[in-house]
Amino acid sequence: MKKKALVVLLAMAMVFAFMLSACGGGDSSSDEQVLKVVTEATFAPFEWTDEESGEIVGFDPDMMAAIAEDQGLKLEWVNMEFDSLIPALESDQGDIICAGMNKLAGDRADKADFGDTYFKSRLMLLVAADSDLTGLDAVTPDMKLASQIGTTGGDMVKQMQEEGKIAEGIVLNQWTDCYLQLQNGEVQGVIVDKPVGYEYLMEHSDIAKYVGEGFGEMEEFAFAVKKGNTELLDKLNTGLANIKANGTYDELLAKYNMESE
Ligand code: ARG
């Protein structure tokens, strides 16, 4: 009889321990390790560097912080050039990419494992406030367009140059430099992600405007981990599902005035 009671007690203890670990409470290994999130932080409202604190802030850092809290993970953010992000995962310089990155573009999905989509968007054309350009269709072979290196917009301006649709597609490391080129009249337009173009216009409608429709393929933004790191990817996906279910994700969209398409 006594033995039976002991077996029942043991079984109960095991079930309890399992429940604890399933909630993330018993997982001490992930509590200690600080995961490096790599990004390119000139992409407001998704990520930019706060001038006063020097910290990387925005929708992506807030979303990842909520996911990390849900999953008991610790994160540290590292800023680098956009075309260095996937190589950083491959060479273990970073554990996670979160950078408004479209998981459908090019061969990205062959080089990194992407999570569930957290935002959908297209590209837009920004032109000078006093420009006569009416949209991407109206661009002529004497014009120059700028975008960021390694991005969907960067690939598009390069392709337009190859096809002779524009004189030059200029690809730069930072979005801030693309805007500067537009401001200085070096280029006639900048191709940028819609929410990012809108954000720029909020404070720079004296310099630039948005013309035409959104274009390009519908982009699906997702975080990514090194190929094969399913354990981490599963945690991030679970965290994302949880913050979508508990309303945090929607609060963050509202905080940054963003709407997914
Ligand atoms: N959505 C575009 C892409 O995936 C641009 C992303 C740029 N992101 C950044 N943090 N600079 O290529």
pLDDT reported for residue 257: 94
- Strand arrangement of the beta sheet that strand 42-43 belongs to: 42-43, 47-49, 56-57
Q: Is 39 in the pocket of ligand 1 (CB under 6 A)?
A: yes
pLDDT reported for residue 2: 61
Ligand 1 centroid to Cα of residue 39, in Å, is 9
What pLDDT, in 10s, does the model give residues 206-230? 999 999 999 999 999 999 999 999 9
pLDDT reported for residue 152: 98
Ligand 1 centroid to Cα of residue 100, in Å, is 5
Choice from 39, 60, 82 to test ligand 1 binding pocket (greatest atom count within 8 A of CB): 82
Quote the strand ranges of 44-157, DSSP E: 47-49, 56-57, 74-79, 96-97, 112-114, 119-128, 144-148
Q: Is the pLDDT of residue 16 over 80?
A: no
Q: Which domains does the chain have, with CATH numbers?
A: 33-118+222-255 (3.40.190.10), 123-216 (3.40.190.10)
Confidence category of residue 138, pLDDT binned at 50, 70, 90 = very high
Ligand 1 centroid to Cα of residue 229, in Å, is 22
Confidence category of residue 21, pLDDT binned at 50, 70, 90 = low
Residues whose CB falls within 8 Å of the CB of residue 61, separated by 6 or more in sequence, listed in order:
37, 47, 77, 98
Ligand 1 atom nearest 47 alpha carbon? 10
Q: Is the pLDDT of residue 20 over 90?
A: no
Q: What is the mean pLDDT of residues 102-123?
A: 98
Q: Is 151 in the pocket of ligand 1 (CB under 6 A)?
A: yes
Minimum mean pLDDT among 19-23, 74-78, 241-245: which range?
A: 19-23
Minimum mean pLDDT among 28-32, 128-132, 207-211, 242-246: which range?
A: 28-32
Ligand 1 atom nearest 40 alpha carbon? 10
pLDDT reported for residue 25: 45
Ligand 1 atom nearest 42 alpha carbon? 11
Q: Is 155 in the pocket of ligand 1 (CB under 6 A)?
A: no
Q: What is the mean pLDDT of residues 37-56?
A: 98
Ligand 1 centroid to Cα of residue 42, in Å, is 10
Q: What is the mean pLDDT of residues 86-95?
A: 98
pLDDT reported for residue 13: 64
Choice from 57, 102, 121, 122 to test ligand 1 binding pocket (greatest atom count within 8 A of CB): 102
pTM over 0.75: yes
Ligand 1 centroid to Cα of residue 133, in Å, is 24
pLDDT reported for residue 7: 65
Q: What integer best gives the mean pLDDT of the chain?
A: 93
Q: Is 112 helix (H, G, I), strand (E, B) or coil?
A: strand
Residues whose CB falls within 8 Å of the CB of residue 183, separated by 6 or more in sequence, listed in order:
128, 207, 208
